[in-house]
Amino acid sequence: MIIVQYVIIGYIIVQTGVSLLTEFAVNRGNRPKEMFRKTRPLRIAVYVLLAAVPCLGAFLPNSEVKYFFMGSGNIWLGYFLYYSGMLLTASAIAAIVCLIRRDKEKRMFSIIFYISAAAALIITVYGMIHAQNTKVVTYDISTVSEGEQPTDKLKVVLLADLHLSVNSTPSTTEKMVEKVNACEPDVILVAGDIFTSSYGGLKHPEKYSAALSRLEAEYGVYVVSGNHDVEENLFGGFSITTVDKAFRTKEMDKFFEDCGFKMLYDEVVELDGRNVVVAGRKDGEKAGDGTTNRMDEHQLLDGIEPEKLTIVLEHEPMNYAALAENGADIVLAGHTHNGQMFPGNFIVPFFNENAYGVKTISGIPTVVTAGVGYYGAPMRVGTDSEITVVNIEY
């Protein structure tokens, strides 16, 4: 619960600070000061109402009202990120300039306010439209040692982070399914986060499961669950539910069944006649049963014949050294979203050995997809929603 308090205190400090800075900037305009004073209660009401929207989405009991505030709160926080980022940065620079020039009017703060507000709106609209344009990214990978000839190849479509939520639309999922099927994959592997920590917020879940059940691949669709495939409360993108209360629900399991997904919870399957096995891991952060328990790398991969191509599918990209040591030939993952929204794409590499794309780590190729969906704000800025095709020569 300490974490919840920190998140809320941090949120109140940021909202208050940005509101005060906005008020200061608006006050520097040319309008009559009398009018500015008269309209202050109205502006305070707007600041409080906007700040309250994500709180209502997080803390109201499950209902249509909660889901409305969840959806609009996500969009508002996306806008707020860019508005506050630009306002704070430009204001800091302006403060230095005013100090040097001994400028007492400080009118440039008013200009900064209008530019930040308008630019954040343009970025939000662009990010929301761009997030719906799923692109196909292709990687060619070989697991054959130098001097040896490959015996076979496999076309994998790697999907992750669908993040079906209050901000999703079935038509986007339907279009994604069409694009995946057009790739004609041998097998489809989904690296978790089908949901965004809530099943109830999904309008018409049957439309999503109907669309996903139309995914086509000779060997089917294998899926691992992610840290958001549990029912929990989120506030501003932070989980405020402790692990022991975060469970995958019966509705979620039924949804996976309706989609025709073959779920892999620390399980290994063989693709008939292809000399390929897929080992799917439980999520190491939230296993779905109120714990973080999952098989270690040795338990998972023990007993797999070394001549078989061993593909490890997991949600969070990690533990490469241990996986390679225990026989993994390639690791496929998601979770990072490639940062999703600028400047996130420059931040995630600090926390992940492979934050995005293909990288050889511990002697094996690792692939991390940016994911087909979005988390929190339904926006992508500086990154793409993507379907990842991995052609493996082995």
Residues that bind Fe ion (CB under 5 A): 161, 193
Minimal distance in Å, beta carbon 334 to Fe ion? Answer: 6
Residue whose C-alpha is closest to residue 131's, from 370, 384, 342, 343 = 384
Nearer to Fe ion by C-beta: 223 or 276?
Answer: 223
Minimal distance in Å, beta carbon 375 to Fe ion? Answer: 5
Q: Which residues, at least 6 apart from 246, have a Cβ–Cβ distance to it below 8 Å?
A: 197, 230, 231, 232, 239, 286, 288, 290
Minimal distance in Å, beta carbon 246 to Fe ion? Answer: 15
| 328 close to 346: Cβ distance less than 8 angstroms | no
Minimal distance in Å, beta carbon 58 to Fe ion? Answer: 18
Nearer to Fe ion by C-beta: 186 or 193?
Answer: 193
Name the strands in the sheet holding 330-333, side by side, starting at the edge strand that comes first in the sequence: 267-271, 276-280, 309-313, 330-333, 364-368, 357-361
DSSP single-letter state for residue 164? B
Nearer to Fe ion by C-beta: 91 or 388?
Answer: 388
Nearer to Fe ion by C-beta: 112 or 194?
Answer: 194
Q: Which long-range contacts (CB under 8 A, 24 or more apart) does 106-111 make?
A: 106/28, 107/28, 107/29, 107/30, 108/28, 109/24, 109/25, 109/28, 110/25, 110/26, 110/27, 110/28, 110/29, 110/30
Minimal distance in Å, beta carbon 316 to Fe ion? Answer: 9
Task: Report d(CA 382, CA 278) in Å as an integer.
Answer: 32
E strand residue ranges, the chain: 135-142, 153-159, 187-191, 221-224, 234-235, 238-239, 262-263, 267-271, 276-280, 309-313, 330-333, 357-361, 364-368, 386-393
Nearer to Fe ion by C-beta: 73 or 226?
Answer: 226
| 188 close to 215: Cβ distance less than 8 angstroms | yes
Nearer to Fe ion by C-beta: 161 or 384?
Answer: 161
Minimal distance in Å, beta carbon 69 to Fe ion? Answer: 21
Minimal distance in Å, beta carbon 64 to Fe ion? Answer: 25
Nearer to Fe ion by C-beta: 197 or 209?
Answer: 197
Q: Which two tokens stand for residue 373?
A: 């969906």
Minimal distance in Å, beta carbon 75 to Fe ion? Answer: 18
Minimal distance in Å, beta carbon 290 to Fe ion? Answer: 20
Nearer to Fe ion by C-beta: 161 or 329?
Answer: 161
Q: Can you spell out the DSSP letters for 36-71?
A: HHHTHHHHHHHHHHHHHHHHHHHHSPSSHHHHHHHH
HSE-up (13 A, CA, CB side) for residue 231:
14
Nearer to Fe ion by C-beta: 161 or 231?
Answer: 161
